[in-house]
Amino acid sequence: MSQNKLSSLEKSIIELLKSYPDASIPVPLLVDALGLPKKKGAQKIKRSTNRLKQLGHIMVTKGNLIRLNEPVVSDEKFVEGKLDVTSHGDGYVIVEGRDQDIKISQKYMGTALNGDTVKVKLLGYHKKSKKPLGRIEEVVKRADTIFVGTLEEVAKNTYLIKTDQLSSRADFFVDPDDLNGAKPGQKVTFSLIRWDDIRGYPQAKVLDILGDAGTNEANILSILAEKQFKSGFPADVERFAENITFDIPQQEIDRRRDIRDEVVLTIDPADAKDFDDGLSIKMLNNGNYYLGVHIADVTHYMPSGSPLDEEAYNRGTSVYLVDRVIPMLPERLSNGVCSLRPNEDKLAYSCFMEIAPNGKLVDYSIEETVIHSKQRFVYDEAQDILDGKNQHKYHNELKILQALANTLLDKRFREGSINFETPEPKFVLDDTGKPVDVIVKERLFAHKLIEECMLMANKTVSYHIKTLRKKGNKSVKNDHPFLYRVHDKPDLEKLNNIRETAKPLGIEFDLHGTVTSKTINSLLKQVEDTSLENIINGLMLRAMAKAEYSPKNIGHFGLGFANYAHFTSPIRRYPDVIVHRLLKRYNSGATEYNYTKLEKIGEHCSERERYAVEAERDSVKLKQVEFLSERLGSTYQGTISGVTENGLYIVLDDIYCEGMIRVSDLKDDYYVYHPQMHCLIGRSKGKKFRLGDTIKTKVINTNLEKRQIDLTISDF
């Protein structure tokens, strides 16, 4: 399909569509994006798209949506990829090199399970969505997946495991010899032994007993196992960790920059034990700030390829659940040897930055150091000092940090960072882990102070790699490969959906030209301090691309940074470990990581991060359901956060729990869903339920297994 005979407008349309290959874009949005006048522009776009459609460059879907034409290549009948099964039971095969995943309906999934590598026969495109469809022909390689379920004895000496994960699709048969001591009624983890025929049960082997089904411990451990995390460490890893000494040899101190006499402070949550970052600050004679960000030197204690390193890589991240932390490193390191505890000598990797009063980086150095933290603050304590409520001997250091953080924060938003503020629920638990209260976490300036200093260090080490490349061999492709934290531009189709959602609510969201952070911040400013603030923030977060780890530096759209990496949390994030190693190796003139290896590490760590976030959200949802299970019949004021043909999603204002009012429970009328207006309207009385409306609700049912909350309107 040669483009040499296309008009400039037609070429511009194709270039725009190539930037969003998976999007179906309405004509008005094309007009906006290309900066054309509305009326005449729409006419020009329609003429151009009609011609492009005839030439086969584009397709026009239902509703006059425009997208690139990607027909199945005639000789591409079979492809291979990884199966991802949704909670609804449908599958998507992710194929390297293809922009769109291949949808697999349940009836075409065969014996494949979530995570398996499969061979797929391409069947064409879905008529409405135009997404590719396929059928699994063969399981090429089974995933090393841990499943979770409840053991049941369905007949004498005949056992089945009823799975928790809808994505696992089937119940599993267990031979009595493979029970591993499990008893009926217990929650267990298990692995697949074999599944050769779709007409029979898959056969499983019990791995671990999580506890009696329905208990808090079993529920929490189930969430972890569903996301392929384990709470305990293998014996060889624990042995390796136990052999690491707290003592620092004098030889190691001598080769480092010794700043033990300088004031280094840490500010962390009250219940934190893994202190991986400390700060030092002073004013220079020239009026500039001299900021030190000191990070636990994990890589000194964790040689590449050691049992400890391999386990940290497999985990990828620490997991922060409501009632516990599942650390990436054993407790001896995370809370002991590496943790920057007060009044102890510690090894650190430090980023020293000279910063002008306007927030601009003037100079920097990245050095291995020895530090001695003089003070451990908790956030509330630091905030009280900043607010003048309490005095402290390090009051001056905190006030300088506050002034610098304000400067960096203002500069960041001026230059393109998006201002997301979403409330987080925090649970008060009793001794059994049962929630007795829910409060919304308070966002203090002390939190922002730490955040701005960490962002500055992360940005600086990434900028450092850019300077090394400038000095390096220009002819070498991927010179000085690095692992970046990247964030792509948002999905144009989803942004258009937000615009359509906001329009009936009287909110303007203009998408003129290319999408910028200024456009998004303008929308967020309009809904600030309104009932729609959390809803629009949530919709916008879902429209944003997911941040990932990659050696390909595309910048960080959300932060507005051209260069950004994760450097400041190696105790709890494996990518930070890699960044430390790369910086040290480049300092000595060598590296053990090439671009391809960093790609694989980035993909793995991004996936582990997604699983950890899902586990954290599931644990929050579990505690919300537990909390409201004890309060059936209670009434709460809420805000309509979503409207579908099935009902209304409600966020309960005081406790930030989300539940659903089903259409079938709206008894006073027959309600019809109007998607354009995002509302339900009663056919007889005309009553409306719209996005953002305040509503009084009653809790009528909860389901711990499915983590669901059912509500009704308390006025009925």
Distance CA 485, CA 605 (A): 11
Distance CA 359, CA 695 (A): 45
CA distances from 49 to 128, 309, 411, 467 (A): 19, 54, 42, 45
Q: Residue 626: inside a domain, yes or no?
A: no
**Residue 442 CB: number of other CB atoms within 10 A?**
12
Length of the chain: 716
Distance CA 516, CA 568 (A): 28
Which one of 612, 646, 667 terminates a domain?
Answer: 612
Q: Cα-atom radius of gyration of the chain, to the nearest Å?
A: 28
Which distant-in-sequence residues (6+ apart) come within 8 Å of 613 by Cβ?
none
Q: Residue 255: inside a domain, yes or no?
A: yes
| pTM of the complete model beyond 0.85 | no
CATH number where 61 lies: 1.10.10
Q: Residue 434: inside a domain, yes or no?
A: no
Task: Dump pLDDT digits (tens) for 540-579.
Answer: 887 888 899 999 999 999 999 999 999 999 999 999 999 9
Which distant-in-sequence residues (6+ apart) come within 8 Å of 636 by Cβ?
652, 653, 654, 655, 696, 697, 698, 699
CATH number where 690 lies: 2.40.50.140
| Strand 657-662 to 647-652 pairing | antiparallel
Determine the average pLDDT of the residues in 62-73. Answer: 65
Least confident range from 156-160, 184-188, 199-203: namely 199-203
Shared domain check, 243 and 193: no
Shared domain check, 127 and 102: yes
Determine the average pLDDT of the residues in 250-260. Answer: 97
| Coil vs helix vs strand at 256 | coil
Residue 2's pLDDT is 43
Shared domain check, 605 and 459: yes
Question: What are the percentages of helix, strand and coil residues in the chain, rounded to 5?
Answer: 35, 30, 40
Shared domain check, 709 and 654: yes
Residue 63's pLDDT is 64
| Coil vs helix vs strand at 198 | coil
Question: Is 662 within 8 Å of 486 (Cβ atoms)?
Answer: no
**Residue 199 CB: number of other CB atoms within 10 A?**
6
Determine the average pLDDT of the residues in 675-695. Answer: 87
Backbone φ and ψ of 284, nearest 5°:
-85, 165
Question: Is 481 within 8 Å of 593 (Cβ atoms)?
Answer: yes
Which one of 95, 126, 141 terminates a domain?
Answer: 141
Shared domain check, 559 and 471: yes
Determine the average pLDDT of the residues in 601-629. Answer: 94
Q: Go through 411-423 and write b for each residue having 16 or more CB atoms within 10 A of its CB, e for each that does not.
A: bbeeebbbeeeee
Q: Residue 225: inside a domain, yes or no?
A: no
Which ranges in 234-376 belong to alpha helices (H)?
235-242, 250-254, 298-301, 307-315, 331
Cα–Cα–Cα angle for 80, 83, 85, rounded to 5 degrees? 160
Q: Residue 227: inside a domain, yes or no?
A: no
Cα–Cα–Cα angle for 605, 608, 612, rounded to 5 degrees? 135
Shared domain check, 393 and 284: yes
Nearest C-alpha neighbor of 662 from the set 646, 651, 686, 673:
646
Q: Residue 223: inside a domain, yes or no?
A: no
Q: For the chain, how many structural domains are there in total?
A: 6
Determine the average pLDDT of the residues in 268-291. Answer: 94
Write out the residue range of the structural domain in which residue 303 sits.
235-419
Q: Residue 592: inside a domain, yes or no?
A: yes
Shared domain check, 194 and 151: yes
Work out the pLDDT band at 491, boundaries 50, 70, 90: confident
Residue 76's pLDDT is 60
Determine the average pLDDT of the residues in 401-425. Answer: 90
Shared domain check, 286 and 327: yes
Which of the two residues, 577 and 521, has the higher pLDDT score?
Answer: 577
Shared domain check, 293 and 371: yes
Determine the average pLDDT of the residues in 294-310. Answer: 97
Per-residue pLDDT at 637 exceeds 90: yes
Backbone φ and ψ of 538, nearest 5°:
-65, -45
Task: Dump pLDDT digits (tens) for 46-55.
Answer: 888 888 887 7
Nearest C-alpha neighbor of 130 from the set 99, 109, 87, 91:
99
User: To which residue do tokens 């669901």 refer?
Assistant: 708
Per-residue pLDDT at 73 exceeds 60: no
CATH number where 206 lies: 2.40.50.700
Distance CA 547, CA 565 (A): 11
Work out the pLDDT band at 331, boundaries 50, 70, 90: very high
Distance CA 439, CA 455 (A): 28
Work out the pLDDT band at 6, boundaries 50, 70, 90: confident
Both tokens of residue 385?
């000092």
Nearest C-alpha neighbor of 665 from the set 707, 629, 706, 709:
709
Shared domain check, 205 and 267: no
**Residue 78 CB: number of other CB atoms within 10 A?**
11
Both tokens of residue 696?
């009084």
Which distant-in-sequence residues (6+ apart) come within 8 Å of 305 by Cβ?
none
Question: Is 416 within 8 Å of 560 (Cβ atoms)?
Answer: yes
Determine the average pLDDT of the residues in 710-714. Answer: 92
Question: Is 13 within 8 Å of 45 (Cβ atoms)?
Answer: yes
Write out 150-181 in H/E/C secondary structure.
Answer: EEEEEECCEEEEEECCHHHCCCEEECHHHCCC
Q: At 343, which amino acid appears? A: N
Per-residue pLDDT at 474 exceeds 90: no
Q: Residue 61: inside a domain, yes or no?
A: yes
Shared domain check, 206 and 311: no
Distance CA 249, CA 367 (A): 18
Shared domain check, 577 and 641: no
Tell me whether residue 72 is exposed, middle or buried, using C-beta atoms within 10 angstroms of its C-beta: 0 to 12, 13 to 18, 19 or more: middle
